[in-house]
Structure 1
Amino acid sequence: MDSVYERALSEVGQNGKFQKRFDIFYNFIFTSLWAIAYNSIILALVIIPYSCQLPSKPENVSGMEWKSRYIPTYYDNSTGKVAFSRCQIYINPDESNETKACDVYSYNKTWYKSTVPSENNWICDDELKVAHIFAYSKIGEAVGSVIFGWFGDIYGRRLSYVLSLFLLVLGRLISVLTSPWYILFVAGCVLAWFPSWTVVQSATVISMEISAPERRSTIATLRTLGYSTGMCIMPLIYWWLGDWKTFMIVTTSTQLPFLLFSWKILESPRWLWVEGKPKDCVKELNRIAKVNNTKLETETKEEIFMTKATKTTEAFRPLSLFSSRRLAINTILQLYLWASVSLSYTVLLLSSSEKSDGNPFLEFTWQSMAEVPATFLGAWLADNLGRRHAGATAYSVSALMWILIFFRECGTSTWLQEWWVGSTLVIVNRLATTVSYYVIYLFNMELYPTCLRQSGMSMGNVFSSGGSAIAPYLMYKRRTLDTRIPGAVLFVVTLLGTGSTLLLPETLNATLPETVRDARDFGRGDKFKYGAIQLNTDPDQQPKDNE
């Protein structure tokens, strides 16, 4: 369709200094800072340990005796122990056992000086407010991922990048200023998450559309490493600052330079070419050529002005993903994988931030650090075991971790109660979940036909957000009903993920589908000849051909 563009890109350089600078600046540095600003709300909404504030204690009475006098107890089925109520207090302990809701709460500020729930007393019966905020935000994210996926194809990658970044900054500002008013605070959270991953996806798409095919895995790896780096740094910033408002302001302010200078980001010359804007296309190609010390040939430039790209409307028909039995099954399996891995990942994030038996910030950092080697491990497994077996292995490990977490909460085994065992289970689970994410991303890139790839990935974002929206309710049930619930539910979810991965066709070294017809037949028998498509994490290393 656009061989003229391919020739032009070859002339200006597909693997030069411009591409490498762009990747380091946007796919790593920017993604790191964006990840902090985007996910900052997770730490700001942590429910820290709390209890009813007791009357002043006489000097001759022990703390435990005084607490037992005013706070009723209950039997915790999940731990098999008697625990103090966090939300009830005796009205007059000397006369009756009648209780009431606490008038004033006391918060454990060992690690968090303040969070949004502690500042507004969103606890006890109001704990659901926190779960609702996450759910509404994720629903907004699901809707926004579809809208912005369409928006980027119609109005360009740069405008999509600018608008998404603006909404993130505006949403966070609204949340900081309106925290006492629940509805306005929720509106700010939804607005910030509405563009979903559009900001970094826009930069990634631009990078992929100006780079050689063998650089694509490098681009994906840099973006994943950038995100993981941001997640490692984020809790340390909160630990340093302590206050949620200061934390939100500092982390959001890192996006302002990128927003103010957003007009300098390159617009995708491929998109400009397809949209029939040859003058702008040539202008952006010349920007690349200048940095790469190359030149766009006059003949090629003239041909760009004379030739029109043929547009396809298939990209705007997501229902085409269900146009045949095989394509529909592959799509449904991938959508389940997106929902399941996002549910597991979000529960891990929320549980680490609420850790009460140690430093929650270091726990969050250790878990996030596991994502860095997981990225390279995922690439190695996908190349050596194949996509299917790499994904199935990762899901199986995650399922094992969840069932062990379940038994740990049961308190039936002594060694599982050790603090280091709990941390190890979660870190290994985080590593396995990151590998799963990597493999699913590859499946999305390789199973969907070219004309429906953007639609398929947008639909994956919708189901990913849907899975994440369930996570806060699992955490709520964990706090209020039974601590074993997340482990039991996610064991089943990840076990089904193992089977779903194995049901997908293998894409390693396969000739990938270009059209809907190709995708309908993909994986059927030996129809597709296996070629030489292999991940490459070294931008300077060319892929090897298997003869």
Structure 2
Amino acid sequence: MILTGKLKVIVLLMTQKCNRRECTVSSDSLPPLSYILPDTREGGTFSKCLMYNGSALDGASVVPCQHGWEYDDTWYPQTVPSEMNWVCDDMHIVSDVMFYAQNIGAVLGLLFGYMGDMYGRRPLQLACVVMHVVSRVVMMYTTSLLPLFVVAESLVVGAAGVMLECSVSVGTELTDIRNRSCVNCMAYVGIPIGLVSACLCVQIFPGWKHSLLFAVLCCLVLLLFCRWFPESPRWLTCRGREEEALSVLRRVAATNGSSLPPFTLQVLHRVAKAKRDRVGYLAIFSSWNLFKNTLLLAMARSLCWVTMVALVLSVGIISVNPLVAVSAQAVAQAASVLLQHYCGTHFGRRWSSVACLALVGLLGALCVVLLTVGVPSVAMAVVVMAMQFWSTAGAGVINLQSIEVHPTCLRQITASVECTVAGVCMSLVPYIVFQGGSVDRRLPFAILSAMHLLGALSVSFLPETALQRLPESLQDAAEFGRGRPYWSWRLIAPPSYVQGQ
């Protein structure tokens, strides 16, 4: 989980530095700046990308900076853009790297998701951890080779979301209906822990390569625990391997100092019926109900992920210490995960996700108003932290809904489709935040506000999943949630609830 937060701060390091470059000159005795730098202003300052080829008094022409740039290292000692001088005419490289890495990673995510449902959750988890290691090592040596650098970054982009989904899926599939939200909560707490850890890492280590080495070390440690990562008994049963599933369950029960409940074989026989289902991406279209739920969840997940990343990147727009701002957002995320667990358990998943998205939309509109009237940056930081709070809460609820709505035989495939759609949408975030923010600082918040208000209405049509038995087959998914009234607020448990099914 730490690696997920680490990824976001690496993105932050790739972007914030570009806004802090200064054109330097070589003379030891400097005339007034107006004789050296063009008098066209950029945000109330002299140009940071152009200079006179001589003195302005002599009618010299304007040329790009000839002596390099000096970077403000107040927050970051060294980043990729400062090392490679991705500024001025090359400033677009930062957004381009993130754009192409997100889209290539989205395609790779589809492959990883297919692997999870065809070959098992355990091999998928191992492959994702290896991709993290390979990606970070390759990135350290390919900054001058942009295509390889983009491919290396895309490896971890494709693996990160699926890796999280895989671990939560296994935990959920091993847990009874009363504790599924608890498993999801524990998993999502790792994201803010990762953000804070990454901020501390930036403070401790002098450059971006050292931060990547720290991420590699975390992955290598995680590899040591992969041997204890169990295969999903439900997946094994869906593949016709009931004896192996029973063996896994017995081992888990022995580890917990308990025995298998009497209804275990009954559940396994019911799950085994799904082995006749066709598995693959086309199975998503096997019923309108399954397709509709996948589409709505993909849209909702995209909104939450886009907002979480956009708010991390927006710390440059609101002019505050980026490390403090990101850490504050991480604290808000941790609190939101706990609130999400409480609300999802007591009030259901559907209306909890609707409330979260609606509140993010209203807070985004408030940001537009505050930027219009010109409030202190501290006030903006507080509102942005509140947006991060509710956006993370919404992401947690929607992730749990996705696991509970989709059948076991398609759980990883549908999750990868949702992550792919979210990844493609996230590739537009740098352009929205940096390009849109340079035109009007209110524009990114206005876009987020409008999308979330529309998203809140859309997710209200998802079925309630709290206290409901996990669908195992395509037929279960086709019927899941049908016939329930739209304005339903009560959580109704099926008869199997008393058995923990």
Does the pair score TM above 0.5? Answer: yes
Write the letter of the residue equivalent to 1:496. Answer: L
- Kept in 2, the 8 Å contact 1:141–1:196? The answer is no
Distance 2:254 2:293 in 1: 43
* Alpha-carbon shift at residue 391 of structure 1 (Å): 2.7
C-alpha change, 1:264 and 1:238, in structure 2 (3 Å) is: same
CA deviation string 1:70-127 (max 9, x = no partner): 2224466xxxx63322211122322226311112111111111100001001112212
- Kept in 2, the 8 Å contact 1:133–1:186? The answer is yes
C-alpha change, 1:51 and 1:198, in structure 2 (3 Å) is: same
Number of the residue aligned with 1:45: 14
Distance 1:333 1:310 in 2: 24
Distance 2:260 2:252 in 1: 10
Distance 2:349 2:258 in 1: 38
Q: Once structures 1 and 2 are overlaid, which stretch shifts more, 313-322 or 127-136? A: 313-322
Write the letter of the residue equivalent to 2:48. Answer: R
Of residues 130, 153, 156 in structure 1, which corresponds to 2:120? 156
* Alpha-carbon shift at residue 369 of structure 1 (Å): 0.8
Q: Once structures 1 and 2 are overlaid, which stretch shifts more, 426-435 or 141-150? A: 141-150
Number of the residue aligned with 1:24: none
Write the letter of the residue equivalent to 1:141. Answer: G
Write the letter of the residue equivalent to 2:24. Answer: Q
C-alpha change, 1:384 and 1:204, in structure 2 (3 Å) is: closer
- Kept in 1, the 8 Å contact 2:235–2:408? The answer is no
Aligned partner of residue 77 in structure 2, secondary structure: coil
Of residues 334, 350, 366 in structure 2, which corresponds to 1:404? 366
* Alpha-carbon shift at residue 429 of structure 1 (Å): 0.9
Residue 72 (structure 1) aligned with residue 41 (structure 2)? no
Residue 255 (structure 1) aligned with residue 213 (structure 2)? no
Number of the residue aligned with 1:8: none
Write the letter of the residue equivalent to 2:29. Answer: P
Distance 1:345 1:239 in 2: 22
Number of the residue aligned with 2:357: 395
Distance 1:85 1:481 in 2: 17
- Kept in 2, the 8 Å contact 1:236–1:365? The answer is no
Write the letter of the residue equivalent to 1:53. Answer: T
Write the letter of the residue equivalent to 1:230. Answer: G
Residue 90 (structure 1) aligned with residue 52 (structure 2)? yes
C-alpha change, 1:268 and 1:320, in structure 2 (3 Å) is: closer
Distance 1:291 1:428 in 2: 41
Of residues 434, 437, 443 in structure 2, which corresponds to 1:485? 443
Of residues 325, 336, 341 in structure 2, which corresponds to 1:363? 325
Number of the residue aligned with 2:185: 221
Distance 1:188 1:312 in 2: 38
Aligned partner of residue 177 in structure 1, secondary structure: coil
Task: Quote the sequence identity (%).
Answer: 25
* Alpha-carbon shift at residue 424 of structure 1 (Å): 0.5
Distance 1:526 1:364 in 2: 38
* Alpha-carbon shift at residue 295 of structure 1 (Å): 5.5
Number of the residue aligned with 1:284: 248
Aligned partner of residue 225 in structure 1, secondary structure: helix
* Alpha-carbon shift at residue 338 of structure 1 (Å): 2.0
C-alpha change, 1:317 and 1:119, in structure 2 (3 Å) is: closer
Aligned partner of residue 106 in structure 1, secondary structure: strand
- Kept in 2, the 8 Å contact 1:383–1:508? The answer is yes
Distance 1:286 1:508 in 2: 27
Aligned partner of residue 188 in structure 1, secondary structure: helix
In structure 1, runs of 5+ residues without a counterpart are 1-30, 534-542
Q: Once structures 1 and 2 are overlaid, which stretch shifts more, 244-253 or 285-294? A: 285-294
Distance 2:186 2:208 in 1: 29
Number of the residue aligned with 2:429: 471
Paired positions, count? 488
- Kept in 2, the 8 Å contact 1:375–1:435? The answer is yes
Residue 423 (structure 1) aligned with residue 381 (structure 2)? yes
* Alpha-carbon shift at residue 228 of structure 1 (Å): 1.7
- Kept in 2, the 8 Å contact 1:50–1:105? The answer is yes
Distance 1:512 1:294 in 2: 23
Q: Which runs of 4+ in 1 moved over 6 A?
A: 510-514, 525-529
Write the letter of the residue equivalent to 1:390. Answer: S
- Kept in 1, the 8 Å contact 2:104–2:151? The answer is no
Of residues 137, 142, 151 in structure 2, which corresponds to 1:187? 151
- Kept in 2, the 8 Å contact 1:321–1:456? The answer is no
* Alpha-carbon shift at residue 50 of structure 1 (Å): 0.8
TM-score normalised per structure 2: 0.86
CA deviation string 1:312-355 (max 9, x = no partner): 4244254544733x655444333222222222221112223x46
CA deviation string 1:469-522 (max 9, x = no partner): 110111230465443331232222222223223344555566776624414835
Distance 1:419 1:310 in 2: 55
C-alpha change, 1:320 and 1:529, in structure 2 (3 Å) is: farther
TM-score normalised per structure 1: 0.79
* Alpha-carbon shift at residue 373 of structure 1 (Å): 1.1
Number of the residue aligned with 1:494: 452
Aligned partner of residue 370 in structure 1, secondary structure: helix
Number of the residue aligned with 1:531: 492
- Kept in 2, the 8 Å contact 1:228–1:372? The answer is yes
- Kept in 1, the 8 Å contact 2:360–2:391? The answer is yes
In structure 2, runs of 5+ residues without a counterpart are none
Number of the residue aligned with 1:27: none
Number of the residue aligned with 1:4: none
